[in-house]
Amino acid sequence: MVLDEQRFLIKASIFYDEDGDGVYEVIPTNGGSRLAFRATDEQMLRFLRRVKIKDSISNPRSYKGTTYSNMLNSIKQGTNSIFYVWSNMYPDNNSLKEILE
């Protein structure tokens, strides 16, 4: 039996607090729960890849030549904090622990 899941894009702000021991905070605006976690650059790149984060709803990041490393740099520098994630890919606390391990 195949369940028909309704997918939608969750708009989320991702912030990095370098003064707070490298804590990332993901704040969704239209679904999902707020996440705050400490991660290294490698763990954060894994997180971005696993949830298949998007930087735009119109053009794919590959079309623009944007890499996950570029996205991570923009988060850490505070130049871009708005990203999009499909609702079925947005992690809960249990899957977040698996991603960061």
- Confirm whether pTM is higher than 0.85: no
Q: Summarize pLDDT for 27-59 with one digit per residue, the tens.
A: 999 888 999 999 999 999 999 999 998 887 766
Q: Summarize pLDDT for 85-95 with one digit per residue, the tens.
A: 988 889 988 88
For residue 16, how many other CB atoms are within 10 A of its CB?
19
Indicate the average pLDDT of the chain: 84
Residue 83 pLDDT: 92
Give the domain ranges of the chain: 9-90
The span from the CA of 87 to the CA of 5, in Å, is: 10
Coil vs helix vs strand at 80:
coil
